[in-house]
Amino acid sequence: MLHDLFPPGIQHALDLAGIFVFATAGALLAVRKNFDVFGIAVLALVTALGGGLFRDLVIGAVPPAAFGELSFFVTPLVAAAIVFFLHPEVQRINTAINVFDAAGLGLFCVTGTTKAYEYGLGLTASAALGLATAVGGGVLRDVLSGEVPRLLRDREMYAVPATVGSSMVAVFIGFDVLNAVTTALAIVTTFVLRLLAMRYHWRAPLAWNRRSSVAEEP
């Protein structure tokens, strides 16, 4: 479906850009956790490809795109190598990486939703897989590194923008108005919501009327 909206070359370049940024974020976390070179590569790979791999296995798109397209597999390894040798310099541009990560979040939730719909899923299931595509790699990254997945404790609204973007795409498909403009609108909305959440520290609400004496974990 997206191939009808954007030229294949542009779509491929956007996919690689999103994969590279997600892989860089995973590799940086591995460095902060003092992982060795293999751990850095693994965390880069699962962060960049985990969500798409899960989506493709659910919808039966085999072999998954991560293994059918060599550049999808090589790009995270390139990002891991850059971080391995240049992590102090990469860490200094962490703000820029977060901005690109927000853009990747918007792109992946849209591509995940449209691909799931192309394979015959309903609109709700397609939106759910769009969310999984966008945040699934981050969940695997956090689990492997011993962190509480950001999906479960959304301090700066990571999953919420992806949910909004995926839902917008599903609605556009339902009303048969998905085109280049509405697709871009969903991507930009996700991107802007994520940036605003980082800027103003927005977060998803806690349990209603929570009065526990136990302090919230940091």
Kindly report, residue by residue over 186-211, the tens digit of the pLDDT.
Answer: 999 999 999 999 899 888 887 787 66
DSSP state of 44: H
CB 164 within 8 A of CB 197: no
pTM passes above 0.85: yes
Residue 148 exposure: Cα atoms within 13 Å on the Cβ side: 6
Cα–Cα distances (Å) from 184 to 82, 123, 165, 173, 191, in that order, read 30, 19, 10, 14, 10
Confidence category of residue 154, pLDDT binned at 50, 70, 90: low
